Amino acid sequence: MATSYAGAVRAGTMAAARVHRQLGLQENITQFGGNVDVFAAIHALDLPLLVRPLKGLLGAYLSQPAPGVLVTTERPMSIQRFTAAHELGHFAMGHEPSLDDENILRRMPLKGGKDENFQEVEANAFAVAFMLPRWLIAWHSQRQGWTVDAFRRPSTIYQLSLRMGASYEATCWTLAQNQLIKPNQVQELLQTQPREMKVGLLEGYKPQDYRGDVWLLTERDAGTRIDGSRNDLFVLRLEEHSGGGYLWDIDQLRASGFAVVRDALESHNDDGVGSHVIRRVTAAPNESRRGRMSLEERRPWETDQPLATLNVDFDLTGPEEEGLSRAERRVLLEAA
According to the 3-state scheme, what is the secondary structure of the chain? Answer: CCCCHHHHHHHHHHHHHHHHHHHCHHHHHHHHCCCCCHHHHHHHCCCCEEEECCCCCCEEEECCCCCEEEEECCCCHHHHHHHHHHHHHHHHCCCCCEEECHHHHHCCCCCCCCCCCHHHHHHHHHHHHHHCCHHHHHHHHHHHCCCHHHHHCHHHHHHHHHHHCCCHHHHHHHHHHCCCCCHHHHHHHCCCCHHHHHHHHHCCCCCCCCCCCEEEECHHHCCCEEEEECCCEEEEEEEECHHHCCEECHHHHHHCCEEEEEEEEEEECCCCCCCCEEEEEEEEECCCCEEEEEEEEECCCCCCCCCEEEEEEEEEEECCCCECCHHHHHHHHHHC
Identify the pLDDT of residue 114: 64
Contact call for residues 89 and 76 (beta carbons, < 8 A): no
Identify the pLDDT of residue 15: 98
Identify the pLDDT of residue 34: 94
Identify the pLDDT of residue 335: 86
102 CB-contact burial (10 Å; exposed 0-12 / middle 13-18 / buried 19+): exposed
Identify the pLDDT of residue 111: 56
Identify the pLDDT of residue 109: 60
The pairing of beta strand 59-62 with beta strand 225-229: unpaired
Identify the pLDDT of residue 112: 52
210-318 domain in CATH 2.60.40.2020?
yes
Same fold, 5-134 and 210-318: no
pLDDT tens series, the chain, 336 aa: 788 888 999 999 999 999 999 999 999 999 999 999 999 999 999 999 999 999 999 999 999 899 999 999 999 999 999 999 999 999 999 999 999 999 999 876 655 556 678 999 999 999 999 999 999 999 999 999 999 999 999 999 999 999 999 999 999 999 999 999 999 999 999 999 999 999 999 998 999 999 999 999 999 999 999 999 999 999 999 999 999 999 999 999 999 999 999 999 986 655 554 568 999 999 999 876 899 999 999 999 998 899 999 999 999 999 999 999 999 998 988 887
Q: Which CATH number among 1.10.10.2910, 1.10.3720.10, 3.10.129.10, 1.10.1740.10 corresponds to the domain 5-134?
A: 1.10.10.2910
How many residues appear in the chain?
336
Residue 93's nearest CA partner among 128, 122, 115, 67 is 122
Query: What are the residue boundaries of the structural domains of the chain, listed by start?
Result: 5-134, 210-318
Identify the pLDDT of residue 113: 55
Identify the pLDDT of residue 237: 97
